[in-house]
Chains A and B, each alone.
Chain A
Amino acid sequence: MYQYDEYDRKIVFERAEQFAKQVERRISGDISELQFKPLRLQNGLYMQLHAYMLRVAIPYGLLSSKQMRMLAHIARKYDRGYGHFSTRQNIQYNWPKLEEVPALLRDLASVDMHAIQTSGNCIRNITSDHLAGIARDELLDPRAICEILRQWSTFHPEFAFLPRKFKIAVTGAPDHDRAAVRIHDIGVRIVKNDAGEVGVQVLAGGGLGRTPVIARVIREWLPTEDLLSYCEAILRVYNQYGDRKDKYKARIKILVNTLGVDEFRRQVDEEWAHIKDGVMKLTPDELERVSKFFVPPAYKKLADSDKLLASHRLDKTIGRWAQHNVALHKVPGYNAVYLSLKTKDIPPGDVSDTQMEQIADLADEFSFGEIVATHSQNLVLPHVETSRLPELYAKLVELDLARPNVDLISDIICCPGLDFCDLANARSIPQALELSQRFEDLDYQHDIGELNIKMSGCINACGHHHVGHIGILGINKRGEEAYQLALGGAPGNDAAFGKIVGPAFPPEKIADAVETVVKRYLEIRSSADERFLDTYRRVGMAPFKEALYGAA
């Protein structure tokens, strides 16, 4: 993984010291909250419903065991003994004290981490495929590109005050988008052109929120050496013409919609013509230099283990877990293992300090010290020997991290909602937990098959409800919580937004409504192999609507 050099370290430590002085001035009353707010937001510090919340960046989700131990230390020393993995591969702490945040940032800096640009109208953490570097369907490891984009966007002086926040995601697997690039402000796909050359496809103007838009292809194929200058051109057009008066019209998706994709592309190309051959050209040397940070670990030379994995998947004890929580790996003899952070009792994405330390130990023991956070709020140990899966499984069971539910109905993505978030209209965590309990029976879950529920407590859509197979949106209906149900969303190559079924449900009815939808699906699916999403696409909304609201 990327290693900080002396300049990186200096910048991050200096930033912590700068913030320490800003906090001092705020506590002494030298500056007001109005003056302090933009300073704290630049350092990832929000003021939420009950307390401050600090969002820590995890670039493209990749963590070392050493960093995970520090996250555990921070949870224990500065918070309430847990952290919350978010839907953008970051971790959030819900209870830091203001005067302790500078010390917290110093501790983070000691392991090459920070909270810079995790808030505010700037380019946020670059996200990617959680199987980057190991997926069999990957054309090229995207992490070098992610790291280059991270370095370019960090403290970029021109883009510190954009019209709105800006999110970039990169995937190296063109046929299987696990990074949801089509719902990002810029999506980068590593692809081949007709001549077979590897480069990037650039999409822009995607996003969720009040106006969900699927990103449009702005450039079908671009040599990788031009990626930075092309992104710079997109950001310049957005920075100049994005709406700064109305925050609901300020994201790039609105600009692309307003101008039309062809005109937006024309403006980007015009801007790009001025800078494409300048200092942002990525030389082969630079690409190689950064790529070297992502050389594979010292894998053993092992025989192909697909048959062994197949036998694990039939095993009475670990079969289901091996089927759902173990992914194929491009190196023979290895697999990636998902650690499910979805149980029926704990908010999705929450991990205790003790668990974090134990996960770090497991990463050292089984996975070359690497851990990856997924945007689905789970974790991955990316390099586990297939022959050691039973051993790892036994240890994960002890830690309550072996629930075999990845991509099943209880693997719910969920924002913090009105229990924590200052923007939320309705709670989401209690509903997620109720659904997890409702569908706790693993036989039932496995019978239902792949079905993603995604839930947001407000229209800002941090819980990605628009792209849930079943999406749930919490709204405020005359001062009370209510929940809209949408069906048919998807985040990947076949990205689509769910359609609202009908009138919203009160909190005590939303789990019943989901169960009604699931039961109808089980009645009408063409076979046990037809996924919920495929059934929905085949039959449409009507059977589900009828089940929920009766015949029209």
Chain B
Amino acid sequence: MGESEELVVITARWLADGAPVYLTAKGEWSRDFQQSKVFPAEAGEAEAAKRGQSDQPLVADPYTFKIERRDGSLDALSTRERIRSTGPTTPLRRPDRAST
């Protein structure tokens, strides 16, 4: 893929809890945005549509969003996806039950 080509990753919502998940190079879904497989835009769109059918018992609404590679990391171009990948930026009353 060329340097100027638009890059995307594929995300969806994990059915069990609605959490953002990202399609990895192994073809699995991860909660870690940095594990995302990077696609050229067109190929990403096609894969997201395919996953919308094949993975529907696991995830809901796969879609792509634009990213950049920066210093070895992936960086979402939109504020929405940045917040979505890291969680609310506001204080929560208490930590996730699952993590305590």
B96 in contact (CB, < 8 A): yes
B85 CB to closest chain A CB (Å) equals 10
Beta-carbon contact of A481 and B17 below 8 Å: no
Cα separation A419 to B83 with both chains bound (whole Å)? 7
Chain B, residues 78-100, CB within 8 Å of chain A (1/0): the string is: 11100110011111111111000
Residues of A within 8 A of B93 (CB): 80-82, 346, 350, 352
Which B residues are CB-close (under 8 A) to A352? Answer: 93-94
Within A360-416, the residues touching B (CB, 8 Å) are none
A residues less than 8 Å from B91 (CB atoms): 345-347, 433
Please give the distance in Å from B1's CB to the nearest CB on chain A. Answer: 22
**Distance to closest chain A CB from B22 (angstroms):** 14
Cβ–Cβ contact A51 & B19, under 8 A = yes
Given contacts A82-B93, A82-B94, A418-B79, contact A98 B56 (CB under 8 A): no
Interface string of A406-447 (1 = CB under 8 A from B): 000000000000111000111101100100000000000000
How far is the CB of A236 from the nearest CB of chain B, in Å? 34
Residue A521 at the B interface, CB < 8 A? Answer: no
Whether, in the assembled complex, B43 has its beta carbon less than 8 Å from a beta carbon of chain A, the answer is no
Over the window 6-17 of chain B, the binary record of Cβ atoms lying under 8 Å from chain A Cβ atoms (1 yes, 0 no) is 000000010111
Known: A82-B94, A419-B90, A433-B90. A33 touches B61 (CB 8 A): yes
- Beyond A49-B83, A430-B90, A481-B79, is A97–B16 a contact (Cβ under 8 Å)? yes
User: Does A6 interact with chain B (Cβ within 8 Å)?
Assistant: no
11 contacts between A and B (CB under 8 A): A47-B61, A50-B18, A80-B94, A80-B95, A80-B97, A82-B94, A98-B17, A419-B90, A427-B83, A430-B90, A480-B79
A residues less than 8 Å from B78 (CB atoms): 479
Report whether A52 and B18 are in contact in the complex, using a CB–CB cutoff of 8 Å: yes
Residues of chain B within 8 A (CB-CB) of A424 are: 80
Say whether B15 contacts A98, CB under 8 Å.
Answer: yes
Q: How far is the CA of A81 from the CA of B98 in the complex (A)?
A: 12
The contact of B17 among A97, A350, A418, by CB within 8 Å, is A97
Is the CB of A28 closer than 8 A to any CB of chain B? Answer: yes
Q: Is the CB of A479 within 8 A of B79?
A: yes
Q: Is the CB of A47 within 8 A of B89?
A: no
Chain A residues with CB under 8 Å of B83's CB are: 49, 418-419, 427
Residue contact A27 to B57, C-beta cutoff 8 Å: yes
Min C-beta distance of A198 to chain B, whole Å: 44
Q: Give 1 or 0 for each of B31-73: 1 = CB within 8 Å of chain A CB.
A: 0000000000000000000000000110011000000000000
B77 contacts the other chain (CB 8 A): yes
Q: Which residue of the partner chain A has the closest CB to B79?
A: A481
- CB-contact partner of A429 in B15, B17, B90, under 8 A: B90
Chain A residues near B56 (CB-CB < 8 A): 29, 32-33
Report the bound CA distance from A95 to B16 in whole Å: 11
Q: How far is the CA of A249 from the CA of B77 in the complex (A)?
A: 31
CB distance from B89 to the nearest CB of A (A): 6
Contact A50 B90 (CB under 8 A): no
Interface residues on A, range: 35 or more
Q: A47-B13, A98-B17 are in contact. Are A419 and B79 (CB under 8 A)?
A: no
Residues on A with beta carbons closer than 8 Å to the beta carbon of B18: 47-48, 50-52, 98
> Smallest distance from the beta carbon of A83 to chain B beta carbons, Å?
9
* Nearest-Cβ distance from residue A358 to partner chain B, whole angstroms: 14
Q: Which of A32, A98, A350, A426 contacts B16 (CB 8 A)?
A: A98
Q: Which residue of B lies closest to A29 (CB)?
A: B57
Q: Which residues of A sit under 8 angstroms from B60, Cβ to Cβ?
A: 33, 47
A15: which B residues are within 8 A, CB to CB?
A: none
A residues less than 8 Å from B17 (CB atoms): 51-52, 95, 97-98
Inter-subunit contact A50/B20 (CB<8 Å): yes
Residues on A with C-beta less than 8 A from B95 are 80
Contacts of B94 in A (CB 8 A): 80-82, 352
CB of B96 within 8 A of CB of A50, answer no
| Least CB separation from A75: chain B residue | B93
Distance of A48 Cα from B17 Cα, bound (Å): 10
**Does A26 reach chain B (CB closer than 8 Å)?**
yes
Nearest residue, chain B, Cβ from A346: B91
- Please give, as numbers and ranges, the residues of chain A lying within 8 Å of B92 by CB-CB distance: 80, 82
**Which residues of chain A from 441 to 480 have any CB-CB distance to chain B below 8 Å in the complex?**
476, 479-480
Q: Output the nearest chain A residue to B13 by Cβ-Cβ distance.
A: A47
Closest to B17 in A: A97
User: A97 to nearest B CB, angstroms?
Assistant: 5
- Residues of B within 8 Å of A26, CB to CB, are 15
